[in-house]
A = this chain, B = another copy of it.
Amino acid sequence: MTTTEISIKMILDRWHGSIKNCDTILNSISDEQLLKEIAPGKNRGIYLLGHLIAVHDDMLRLMDMGEKLYPELYEPFLNAADKTTDNLPTAATLRNYWAKQNEALQQKFDSLKTEQWFERHTAVSAEDFVKEPHRNKLNIVITRTSHLQYHTGQLALLK
Give A contacts to B, CB under 8 Å: 1-4, 6-11, 13-14, 17-18, 38-40, 42, 114-115, 118, 133-134, 136, 138-139, 142-143, 145-147, 149-154, 156-157
Contacts and interface: CB of A to CB of B under 8 A. Distances in A.
A14 B146 contact: yes
B42 A138 contact: no
A97 to B, nearest CB: 21
A86 B11 CA distance: 39
Given A149-B146, A153-B153, A154-B154, A136 B6 contact: yes
Contact of A138 (B7, B136, B149, B157): B7
Can you tell how many copies of this chain the complex includes?
2
A153 B142 CA distance: 17
Classify the secondary structure of A's interface with B. Answer: helix
Contacts of A134: 6, 9-10, 13
A7 B5 CA distance: 10
Contacts of A114: 3
A14 B7 CA distance: 14
A121 to B, nearest CB: 12
Contacts of A11: 7, 11, 142
Contacts of A147: 149
Nearest to A2: B4
B4 A4 contact: yes
